[in-house]
Amino acid sequence: METVLSGIRSTGNLHLGNYFGAIKNFIKMQHENRCYFFIADYHSLTTHPTPEDLHQNVKQVLVEYLAAGIDPEVATLYIQSDVPEVAELYLLLSMNAYMGELERCTTFKEKARKQPDNINAGLLTYPVLMAADILIHKAHKVPVGKDQEQHLEMARTFGNRFNRLYKTDYFPEPVAFNFGVELIKIPGLDGSTKMGKSEGEGNAIYLADDEKVIRKKIMRAVSDSGPTEMNQPKSQPIENLFNIMNVVSSPDTVAHFEALYNKCEIRYGDMKKQLAEDVIAFTAPLRERILEIGADDAYLSKVARMGAEKARESASKTIKEVREIIGFKPF
């Protein structure tokens, strides 16, 4: 049986990118594999949240995972900081991670540009912590979006390096996984190529957004002045709208607007209205469950406790074995 693991940073509500990049694939896999899904709250410290925000965000992500369909009875659903073994593996792996490779990491360079006043060591070693998350359960498959591809490559590097150094085959090679074969990247509504939590206002559609907000965001999405020639290549913002439509609408709907675009007869207002309705049809049941589960503190606390227990069982076994491999042995 294969082990599957994925996680999401607790830095805000989940958006369509998180859902289609990671959660959807995970949900499909949870019944057939040994599955771990966690909330990366240690990772969120790189941006220095207040204690109140940290706690609230972890709760919100937990609620939204459950609402999206992760089943805590079959998958191990846990909060990263409930499993301190992860921090120990992070320390051990960081001894074999080199400055040069960490500095070259695209996400580090991006973050350093975005928060020039807070380029902390945690940002630099972020891929090491992520490797620890994955290797602590010896995961084989990691459902993630395209933006995490380089991090997965680094996780493989650190695992393989450990194996070579200690002449073992202890860690399997984790691969980024998507059922569609290609990893996906859901674009933003602001014309940018990525939907993301840290992008500007109006970029992302959140699972918890209500109908009014969704309509407003989509009607205001960036577009262009329309095609002037038959079969004209699409501009980035229009490509984005079609890409979002591809994941929430029926193939017939997409084909209908594609044909109109190619004939130069498209009215973006109509396309956006349809897109908004299809997004709402997709998110409305989720939103309902988010509100329901969010009000059930006793259930959430039970889920978190159960997840921590199961995750620690697997993590402590790994740490015990890794310590022995490295040469830490009791006298």
- What is the closest distance, in whole angstroms, from the C-beta atom of residue 137 to ligand TYM in the complex? 10
Which of these ranges, 6-14, 207-215, 254-262, 283-291, lies near ligand TYM under the rule CB under 6 A?
6-14
For ligand TYM, the binding residues in 26-55 under the rule CB under 6 A are: 40, 43
Around Cβ 300, how many Cβ atoms within 10 Å?
A: 18
Which of 185, 194, 216, 310 is catalytic? The answer is 194
Vertex 105 angle, CA 99 and 111, to 5°: 105
**DSSP 8-state assignment for residue 203:** S
For ligand TYM, the binding residues in 149-168 under the rule CB under 6 A are: 151
* C-beta separation of 145 from 21 below 8 A: yes
Nearer to ligand TYM, 65 or 257 (CB): 65
* C-beta separation of 90 from 318 below 8 A: no
Tell me how long the chain is. Answer: 331
Which of these ranges, 92-100, 182-190, 254-262, 303-311, lies near ligand TYM under the rule CB under 6 A?
182-190
* C-beta separation of 293 from 66 below 8 A: yes
Nearer to ligand TYM, 22 or 276 (CB): 22
Which of these ranges, 83-91, 97-105, 126-134, 252-260, lies near ligand TYM under the rule CB under 6 A?
126-134
d(C-alpha 199, C-alpha 313), whole Å: 37
Q: Read off the tokens for 203.
A: 């970029």
197 is catalytic: yes
Among 9, 138, 217, 312, binds ligand TYM (CB under 6 A): 9
* C-beta separation of 23 from 62 below 8 A: no
Collapsed DSSP state (helix, strand, coil) of residue 189: coil
The number of C-alpha atoms within 13 Å of 81 and in the hemisphere containing its C-beta is 11
320 is catalytic: no
* C-beta separation of 271 from 220 below 8 A: no
Collapsed DSSP state (helix, strand, coil) of residue 5: strand
185 is catalytic: no
Among 39, 130, 205, 214, binds ligand TYM (CB under 6 A): 130
Of 9, 6, 82, the C-alpha closest to 44 is 9
- What is the closest distance, in whole angstroms, from the C-beta atom of residue 17 to ligand TYM in the complex? 3
Q: Interface with ligand TYM includes 144 (CB under 6 A)?
A: yes
The number of C-alpha atoms within 13 Å of 78 and in the hemisphere containing its C-beta is 25
Among 22, 77, 207, 218, binds ligand TYM (CB under 6 A): 22
Q: Interface with ligand TYM includes 221 (CB under 6 A)?
A: no
Which of 59, 197, 216, 310 is catalytic? The answer is 197
- What is the closest distance, in whole angstroms, from the C-beta atom of residue 111 to ligand TYM in the complex? 10
Q: Read off the tokens for 6.
A: 């994925």
Which of 24, 111, 138, 217 is catalytic? The answer is 111
Among 185, 256, 273, 289, binds ligand TYM (CB under 6 A): 185
Binding site for ligand TYM (CB under 6 A): 5-9, 17-18, 20-22, 40, 43, 130, 133-134, 142, 144-145, 147-148, 151, 184-186, 194-196
What positions carry a catalytic annotation? 111, 194, 197
